[in-house]
Amino acid sequence: MTAARRIVIDTDPGLGEPGSDIDDGLAIALALRSPELTVEALTVVNGNVDVDTGVDVARRLTRRLGHPDLPVLRGADRPLLRDMAPLRALFDDVVGDRPAVPTAADDRLGPTSDLTAAAYLVERAAACPGGITVVAIGPLTNLALALRLDPGFAQNVAEIVMMAGSATGYAQNITVVGDFNAYVDPEALAMVLASGARLRMVGIDQTSRVRLTRDDAAALSRGDSFGRWAGECALAWIDFLARAFPLREEHRDACFLHDPLVVAAVLDPSLCTWADAHVATDTTSELARGLVVADRGLALAPPPGPPNASVAVDTDVPGFGHLFLDRLTGTPAGD
């Protein structure tokens, strides 16, 4: 068996926080329960939740998963340029007032080190050139700050595999143009796309094809203590989405497993079909903010530039589903 791939997960985890996406937490659980991967640390970024809530969620999650000493680093508390307030308000408007965060601010668990997420990413990649893969499943702010701190990070990091944008079409997310991670910080995504780092992108066109149903949540609940808790959180999140988006049938009985697909694509790249593309994002307009275009040279005009990323253009949905439930519940799917 080849050596486990060393990864750092850059994340905006909300699992367990009422009214927040559960997918980062399930992605972290999948990574920690997959022998093909060695998770070296979690670096937390503002996104689904504010960064301090994200750090607290990450610390409690690693304890639940039996990795209490896993490094958890605090990263950016806001996007490079954009103001989070309107987006937080939109979430509150669109999905209704979030229930009070159960963890009072002074009860939160802090990071395991005073090192910032960007400094940690730079230091680890420089200490082990080509040895660390960053799985970026939140807004790309920490990665952009790491590039600002040390442009050599782009060459030192083995690969950045990110959940962002879309490659083949759009499934509506927080805005008409799509993915939340690109929308929150399009300037950060643009910096990563221009960095020269080895990039893979799994867009919302693919991640919205893999879903966790109420039956899947019940299967999780039949697992261990983490599974029982995660199953309850999943059902609560599906109920939340059904209330918040009553016109979207896909949220009546399921939620998307955006971030777990990215982790799965790292441990088994054959789960997706990949194509080289020139990927760019819009940072100039409000209407198309965070729009991602992955040009694979299929159009009449030549691509605006050479390929800068490998993008997922298809997904083995059943294969992912089996892997996900197998690893999360510890029982081969179909048992």
Write out the H or E segment, with its range, that includes residue 58. helix 51-64
Nearer to ligand RIB (CB atom), residue 71 or residue 139: 139
* Active site (annotated) includes residue 322: no
Q: Which does 173 bind (CB under 5 to 8 A by kind): ligand RIB, Ca ion, none?
A: ligand RIB
Catalytic residue among 258, 278, 282, 295: 258
Interface with ligand RIB includes 10 (CB under 6 A)? Answer: no
Secondary structure (3-state) at 277: strand
Rg of the chain over CA atoms, in angstroms? 18
Give the separation between CA 134 and CA 260, rounded to whole angstroms. Answer: 14
Q: Biggest alpha carbon distance in the chain?
A: 57
Give the separation between CA 48 and CA 99, rounded to whole angstroms. Answer: 15
How many alpha carbons lie under 13 Å from residue 259 in its C-beta half-sphere? 26
The CA-atom distances, in angstroms, between 20 and each of 14, 25, 96 are 5, 11, 12
**Which listed residue (24, 185, 205, 282) binds Ca ion by CB under 5 A?**
24
Secondary structure (3-state) at 150: coil
Min CB(145)–ligand RIB separation in Å: 17
Nearer to Ca ion (CB atom), residue 185 or residue 259: 259
**Which listed residue (46, 48, 281, 308) binds ligand RIB by CB under 6 A?**
48
**Which listed residue (73, 163, 201, 219) binds ligand RIB by CB under 6 A?**
163
Scan residues 164-193 and list those touching ligand RIB (CB under 6 A).
Answer: 173, 179-181
Handedness of CA 253, 258, 260, 266 (dihedral sign): positive
Site string for ligand RIB, 259-278 (x = CB under 6 A): x-------------------
Interface with Ca ion includes 260 (CB under 5 A)? Answer: no
- The region of 17-25, 58-66, 74-82, 275-283 touching ligand RIB under the rule CB under 6 A is 17-25
Secondary structure (3-state) at 32: helix
* Active site (annotated) includes residue 12: yes
List, in order, residues 6 or more apart from 125 with CB less than 8 Å away. Answer: 132, 146, 153, 156, 157
Give the separation between CA 81 and CA 135, rounded to whole angstroms. Answer: 23
Nearer to ligand RIB (CB atom), residue 24 or residue 50: 24
Write out the H or E segment, with its range, that includes residue 27. helix 23-32
Min CB(128)–ligand RIB separation in Å: 26
Site string for ligand RIB, 200-239 (x = CB under 6 A): ----x-----------------------------------
Amino acid letter for position 153? F
Min CB(238)–ligand RIB separation in Å: 15
Q: Under the rule (CB under 6 A), what is the footprint of ligand RIB? A: 12, 21, 23-24, 47-48, 137-138, 163, 173, 179-181, 204, 258-259
Active site residues: 12, 258
Chain residues binding Ca ion by CB under 5 A are: 12, 24, 137-138, 259
